[in-house]
């Protein structure tokens, strides 16, 4: 078991005008127990 | 077997004590927030005088409209409308405070769901509004010469406390309508005026059918019918139970609305509390 | 002296001053329309006051209806002013824009007065519209004997509202409890101002108080203009009081702004 | 919207936002199905000016949010003072939060996040607004947590945070994962200690030649009014200082700005250098 497991996570938002915005696209990575993972977007 | 049931009992006891401590903390924090927003000097200098003037105004308006009977009728109702300041405006400020402070996300991920936290923190507002009601009962009663009615109302104060409770539930529910938009002032003022108009506080029931129809589902209406009937020595329990029912209805509505708000903000990402 | 720029000739400065007043008024009206606060005071309140006064009372004649309608219009106008103009300064302070207004080239009092004017104009127009609709819904007859005089009285009402707004608005430069103070200010004036409740119902010391409130004289003038012949003396007293409020407001606002600048209490939110 | 991916991912993991597709688990619990279990094991520090009750003291904020996060009465009594000490807010604890500086508010956010002894910690720009000393103290306390087996997902623009704390690095660009590697590989490829920006009048001519290894010219613009030279330094060294000294002698210096390298700058060179 991992502390954090991300399996192709995506997230889109529909903005006021109806346009959609993709904030996350198929994100997959994991963080082990006691591990520190740094990330930046 | 006996050992395990006794440990289970103590575990349940610990959990109950923990829950009790948690609700006491939430209520205590509510008082902290209330006092930091309304220090005693401000309560004495502006809030109480404003409510006394407001109550006297309604009584005098009752007198101008329908003579001394009108004044007495208005006095009994105006005491209930004094509760709207803390019960509706004050209570709906509790979730709105979280909106402006940006602390709602913390409540969302907390161990205790938002609605009980709001209601717990609202106990301070509820207490303040009951105290305000008592101040208005005495001050306005003496100023407008209604002291005979004032004395008759004292044994009926528990009914006014029930009214305060059902009104606070409505205040909380109405806050959840406006949290998404910047309309909180108009919405809790709207509900306050609806209560003043439609609950038989200042306009006798039966004067305008439309008002009575709306009043049925609003707090205060049934409670005031109970008070007025008790003043004439008539039955009052049935109406008090109806008032409790209306209050529970509004509380359930508040709970559902805050759950819907939370679910929607998780779905759309539009944290309606920001 | 209210001035926008001391270097310009007097006539030019006066013209600039009026320009600033109108810009601030329009700005304030746009801001109020964007928030819902105005609805509470100028739509809900007139309906509530009108129904509570008219429904229980037996006398539904045109004269009685007019007296109540004028009383409600003035009471609501006061509530809108106490709240509108006051919240103008309270919001300026909360947003930190008050400090910028005080430091700006244009005299802050002109800005406050202009915004108060915008608040007063918008709220009175909305209150009047609501009143008209409610009176029609109740089929309550009212009379308009001298429309011209009524219009003059109405203009004085708006001027009075802005001046009072500046007077009580200056309180918000120093206190952070503006909401509670403005809520408090509403009812004493509505109660003792001789509008919906005749001041002769109160024992002497209190009934004299209403003499200091311009709205009480406007009530007298507007009712006599609508029913019978206008009482111009009452109008003159109202105008005198309005000027007194304006001068008082300008002086008080200046002193308080100076004090706030000395104690640095402007940015203490 | 730059940086939206970072906050969105943190919110999804903190159960504040549902993923559109895909699954996310924390300690085996699904963030959508087992929300309560995830919330009891995770703590999220979003930081920033909001998220605190301004008219209430720092200590009361901390105790209230700790209680809300499920910390028991006994633990709360001991851990509140400890946390205040840890984030160096002990003296200011009983002042209202509205009197706190940006850095103090950030430290209070961190104290709230650490109070409930989370198994998994989601840190969003933890050192933003902190002065170097406070940032170091915070990095030490986060490092201690790692010792206690706490797993941490940390986002930061500051290379120093990542270098000091992270075991592995993940790079997202416009919502997609573009790089995943252990810290050692990342540091080798990209590691810069600092960026020096020299603004001067006059001409320097060929700079690259006179610089020691480990210093790279990032940008060099010379014109009559004022010239700018931007250097990236792999690490500080004696001869680097003397080289800089010699550079500065020949020109009329207006300003020298030295700041820690930012993550994007490191990643920028990383993506250039990537195979």
Q: What tens digit of pLDDT does each residue of C200-258 get? A: 888 888 878 888 889 999 999 999 999 888 899 999 999 999 999 989 888 887 787 77
Q: Does D44 contact chain B (CB < 8 Å)?
A: yes
Q: What tens digit of pLDDT does each residue of B12-71 get? A: 888 888 889 999 999 999 999 999 989 999 899 889 999 999 999 999 999 988 889 999
Does D133 fall in a domain? Answer: yes
What confidence score (pLDDT) does residue C269 get? 37
CATH of the domain at D238: 3.30.70.1710
Domain termination site, one of D99, D127, D155 = D155
> Chain B partners of C41 at a C-beta cutoff of 8 Å?
189
Burial class (CB in 10 A: 0-12, 13-18, 19+), B233: exposed
Separation of alpha carbons B34 and D56, rounded Å: 10
- Least-confidence region, from C2-11, C137-146, D18-27: C2-11
Give the closest of A7, A31, A36 to D23, CB-based: A7
Q: Are residues D130 and D19 in the same domain?
A: yes
What confidence score (pLDDT) does residue C170 get? 73
Assessment of whether the complete model's pTM goes beyond 0.80: no
> Chain D partners of A41 at a C-beta cutoff of 8 Å?
2-6, 9, 155, 172-173, 175
| DSSP-assigned states of every residue in C228-259 | SS--HHHHHHHHHHHHHHHHHHHHHHHHHHHH
As a whole number, mean pLDDT of residues D73-86 equals 92
- Least-confidence region, from B113-127, C88-102, D183-197: C88-102
Nearest to C56 by CA among B148, D264, D1, B64: B64
Helical segments of D23-175, H only: 35-41, 58-68, 73-86, 102-115, 132-147, 159-165
% of chain D exceeding 90 in pLDDT: 21
What confidence score (pLDDT) does residue C99 get? 62
Report residue D204's pLDDT band, with 50, 70 and 90 as the boundaries. Answer: confident
Give the closest of D14, D72, D96 to B18, CB-based: D72
Q: Does C51 contact chain B (CB < 8 Å)?
A: yes
Residues in chain B, pLDDT under 50: 272, 274
Enclosing H/E stretch for D253: strand D252-260
ipTM, two decimals, is: 0.73
CATH of the domain at D131: 3.40.50.300
> Chain B partners of A14 at a C-beta cutoff of 8 Å?
268
Q: Does C48 contact chain B (CB < 8 Å)?
A: yes
> Chain B partners of A11 at a C-beta cutoff of 8 Å?
269
Residue C4 pLDDT more than 50? no
Nearest to C214 by CA among C183, C198, C236: C236
Residue C159 pLDDT more than 60? yes
> Chain A partners of D169 at a C-beta cutoff of 8 Å?
37-39
Q: Taking the CA atoms of chain D, what radius of gyration do you get in angstroms?
A: 22
Q: Does B269 contact chain A (CB < 8 Å)?
A: yes
C-alpha dist (Å) from residue B233 to B76, B152, B199, B236: 15, 11, 21, 9
Non-local (6+) Cβ contacts of D172 within 8 A are A24, A27, A39, A40, A41, D5, D6, D9, D178
Q: Are residues D82 and D205 in the same domain?
A: no
| DSSP-assigned states of every residue in C97-134 | HHHHHHHSSS-HHHHHHHHHHHHHHHHHHHHHHHHHHH
Does D184 fall in a domain? Answer: no
Q: Searching chain B, which residue's CA lies closest to the CA of residue D55?
A: B36
Residue D80 · residue D59 · CB < 8 Å: yes
Provide residues of A within 8 Å CB-CB of chain B: 11, 13-14
Separation of alpha carbons B256 and B274, rounded Å: 20
Place of tokens 């004269």: C63
The mean pLDDT value of chain C amounts to 80
Domain termination site, one of D155, D182, D213 = D155
Identify from C65, C68, C184, C196 which residue to disrupt to test chain B contact, counting B C-beta atoms within 10 A and taking the largest count: C184
Residue D49 pLDDT more than 60? yes
What confidence score (pLDDT) does residue B180 get? 58
Subunits adjacent to chain A (3 or more Cβ pairs under 8 Å): B, D
Q: In the structure, do chain A and chain C come into contact, i.e. share 3 or more CB pairs under 8 Å? A: no
Subunits adjacent to chain C (3 or more Cβ pairs under 8 Å): B
- Residues 132-171 of chain B with CB under 8 A from chain C are none
Does D169 fall in a domain? Answer: no
Non-local (6+) Cβ contacts of D254 within 8 A are D199, D200, D201, D226
Q: Does A38 contact chain D (CB < 8 Å)?
A: yes
Place of tokens 């904030």: A23
Burial class (CB in 10 A: 0-12, 13-18, 19+), D234: middle
Across C20-34, C98-112, C205-219, the highest mean pLDDT is recorded for C205-219
Give the closest of D19, D22, D172 to A41, CB-based: D172
Does D164 fall in a domain? Answer: no
> Chain A partners of B268 at a C-beta cutoff of 8 Å?
13-14
Report residue C267's pLDDT band, with 50, 70 and 90 as the boundaries. Answer: very low
Separation of alpha carbons A12 and C197, rounded Å: 60
Does D179 fall in a domain? Answer: no
Count of pairs with CB atoms under 8 A, one residue in B, one in C: 99
The mean pLDDT value of chain D amounts to 83
> Chain A partners of D123 at a C-beta cutoff of 8 Å?
none
Residue D48 pLDDT more than 90? no
What confidence score (pLDDT) does residue B229 get? 96
Non-local (6+) Cβ contacts of B166 within 8 A are B219, B220, B223, B243, B244, B246, B247, B250
Residue D2 pLDDT more than 50? no
C-alpha dist (Å) from residue B126 to B46, B129, B167, B223, C237: 18, 5, 9, 17, 45
Separation of alpha carbons D222 and D229, rounded Å: 8
Give the closest of B32, B103, B112 to D51, CB-based: B103
Residue D40 pLDDT more than 90? no
With CB atoms and an 8 Å threshold, state whether C37 touches B186: yes
What confidence score (pLDDT) does residue D132 get? 82
Count of pairs with CB atoms under 8 A, one residue in A, one in D: 156
Separation of alpha carbons B145 and B150, rounded Å: 9
CA distance B61 to chain C (A): 7
Does B19 fall in a domain? Answer: no
Residue D212 DSSP label: P
Residue B255 backbone phi and psi in degrees, to 5: -60, -50
Identify the domain containing residue D112 by its residue range: 4-155
Identify the domain containing residue B178 by its residue range: 24-265
Q: Searching chain B, which residue's CA lies closest to the CA of residue C75?
A: B57
Count how many domains chain D has: 2
Give the closest of C45, C53, C187 to B65, CB-based: C53
Nearest to D105 by CA among D113, D156, C53, D10: D113
Residue D125 pLDDT more than 70? yes
Count how many domains chain B has: 1
Higher pLDDT, B36 or C171: B36
> Chain B partners of C187 at a C-beta cutoff of 8 Å?
50, 53-54, 57
CA torsion sign, B212 to B218 to B220 to B226? Answer: positive
Residue C14 pLDDT more than 50? yes
Give the closest of D18, D54, D63 to B101, CB-based: D54
With CB atoms and an 8 Å threshold, state whether D17 touches A11: yes
Nearest to C241 by CA among C165, C164, C182, C187: C164
By three-state DSSP, how is residue D262 classified? Answer: strand
Higher pLDDT, B262 or C88: B262
CA distance D142 to chain A (A): 10
Residue C118 pLDDT more than 50? yes
Q: Searching chain B, which residue's CA lies closest to the CA of residue D14?
A: B109
Separation of alpha carbons B171 and B84, rounded Å: 9
**CA C24 to chain CA centroid, nearest Å:** 16
Q: Which phi-psi region, left, alpha or beta, contains residue C213 (left: φ > 0; alpha: ψ -120 to 50)?
A: beta
With CB atoms and an 8 Å threshold, state whether D39 touches B105: no
What confidence score (pLDDT) does residue D1 get? 32
Separation of alpha carbons D210 and D213, rounded Å: 10
Q: Are residues D205 and D139 in the same domain?
A: no
Q: In the structure, do chain C and chain B come into contact, i.e. share 3 or more CB pairs under 8 Å? A: yes
């Amino acid at each position: 078991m991992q502390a954090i497991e991300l399996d192709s996570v995506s997230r889109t938002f529909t903005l006021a005008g109806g346009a959609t915005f993709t904030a996350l696209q198929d994100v997959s990575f994991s963080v082990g127990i006691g591990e520190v993972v740094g990330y930046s977007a | 077997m006996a050992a395990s049931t006794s440990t289970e009992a103590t575990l349940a006891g610990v959990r109950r004590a923990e829950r009790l401590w948690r609700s006491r903390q939430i209520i205590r924090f509510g008082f902290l927030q209330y006092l930091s927003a309304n220090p005693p000097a401000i309560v004495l200098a502006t809030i109480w005088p404003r409510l006394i003037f407001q109550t006297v105004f309604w009584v005098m308006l009752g007198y101008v409209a329908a003579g001394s009977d009108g004044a007495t009728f208005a006095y009994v109702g105006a005491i209930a409308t004094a509760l709207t300041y803390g019960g509706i405006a004050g209570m709906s400020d509790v979730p709105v405070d979280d909106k402006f402070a940006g602390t709602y996300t913390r409540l969302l991920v907390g161990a205790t769901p938002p609605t009980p936290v709001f209601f717990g923190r609202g106990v301070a507002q509820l207490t303040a509004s009951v105290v305000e009601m008592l101040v208005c009962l005495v001050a306005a009663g003496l100023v407008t010469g209604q002291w005979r009615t004032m004395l008759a109302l004292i044994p009926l104060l528990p009914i006014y406390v029930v009214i305060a409770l059902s009104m606070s539930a409505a205040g909380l529910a109405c806050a959840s309508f406006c949290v998404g938009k910047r309309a909180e002032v108009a919405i809790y003022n709207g509900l306050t005026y609806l209560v003043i108009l439609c609950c038989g506080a200042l306009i006798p029931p039966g004067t305008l059918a439309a008002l009575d129809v709306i009043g049925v589902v609003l707090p205060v209406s049934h409670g005031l019918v109970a008070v007025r009937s008790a003043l004439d020595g008539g039955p009052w329990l049935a109406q008090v139970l109806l008032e409790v029912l209306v209050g529970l209805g509004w509380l359930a509505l508040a709970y559902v609305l805050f759950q819907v708000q939370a679910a929607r903000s998780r779905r759309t990402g539009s944290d309606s509390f920001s | 002296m209210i001035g926008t720029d001391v270097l310009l000739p007097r006539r030019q400065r006066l013209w600039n001053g009026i320009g600033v007043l109108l810009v601030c008024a329009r700005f304030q009206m746009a801001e109020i329309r964007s928030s819902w606060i105005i609805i509470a005071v100028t739509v809900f309140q007139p309906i509530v006051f009108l129904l509570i006064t008219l429904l229980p009372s037996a006398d539904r004649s045109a004269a009685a209806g007019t007296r109540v309608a004028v009383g409600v219009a003035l009471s609501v106008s006061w509530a809108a002013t106490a709240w509108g103009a006051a919240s103008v300064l309270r919001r300026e302070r909360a947003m930190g824009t008050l400090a910028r207004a005080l430091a700006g080239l244009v005299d802050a009092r002109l800005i406050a007065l202009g915004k108060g004017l915008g608040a007063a104009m918008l709220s009175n127009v909305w209150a009047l519209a609501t009143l008209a609709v409610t009176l029609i819904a109740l089929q309550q007859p009212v009379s308009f004997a001298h429309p011209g005089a009524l219009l003059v009285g109405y203009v004085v009402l708006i001027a009075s509202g802005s001046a009072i707004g500046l007077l009580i608005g200056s309180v918000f430069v120093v206190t952070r409890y503006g909401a509670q103070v403005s809520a408090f200010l509403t009812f004493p004036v509505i109660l003792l101002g001789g509008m919906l409740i005749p001041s002769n119902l109160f024992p002497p010391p209190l009934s004299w108080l209403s003499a200091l409130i311009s709205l009480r004289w406007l009530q007298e003038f507007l009712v006599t203009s609508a029913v019978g012949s206008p009482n111009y003396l009452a109008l003159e007293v109202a105008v005198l009081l309005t000027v007194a409020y304006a001068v008082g407001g300008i002086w008080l606002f200046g002193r308080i702004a100076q004090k706030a600048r000395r104690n640095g209490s402007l940015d203490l939110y | 919207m730059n940086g939206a991916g970072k906050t969105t991912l943190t919110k999804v993991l903190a159960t504040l936002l549902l993923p559109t597709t895909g699954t996310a688990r924390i300690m085996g619990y699904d963030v959508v199905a087992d929300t309560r279990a995830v919330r009891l094991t995770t703590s999220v520090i979003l930081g920033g000016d909001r998220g605190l009750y301004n008219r209430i003291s720092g200590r009361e904020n901390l105790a209230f949010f700790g209680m809300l996060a499920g910390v028991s009465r006994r633990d709360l009594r001991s851990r509140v003072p400890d946390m205040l000490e840890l984030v160096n807010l002990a003296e200011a604890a009983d002042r209202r939060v509205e009197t706190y500086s940006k850095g103090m508010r950030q430290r209070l956010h961190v104290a709230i996040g650490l109070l409930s002894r989370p198994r998994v910690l989601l840190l969003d720009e933890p050192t933003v607004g902190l002065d170097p000393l406070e940032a170091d103290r915070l990095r030490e306390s986060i490092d201690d947590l790692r010792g206690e087996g706490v797993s941490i997902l940390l986002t930061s623009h500051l290379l120093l945070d990542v270098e000091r704390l992270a075991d592995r690095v993940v790079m997202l660009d416009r919502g997609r994962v573009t790089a995943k590697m252990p810290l050692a590989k990342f540091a080798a490829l990209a590691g810069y200690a600092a960026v020096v920006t020299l603004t001067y009048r006059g001409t320097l001519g060929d700079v690259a030649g006179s610089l020691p290894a480990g210093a790279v010219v990032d940008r060099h613009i010379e014109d009559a009014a004022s010239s700018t030279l931007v250097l990236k330094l792999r690490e500080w060294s004696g001869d680097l200082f003397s080289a800089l000294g010699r550079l500065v002698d020949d020109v009329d210096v207006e300003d020298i700005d030295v700041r820690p390298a930012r993550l994007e700058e490191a990643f920028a060179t990383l993506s250039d250098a990537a195979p």
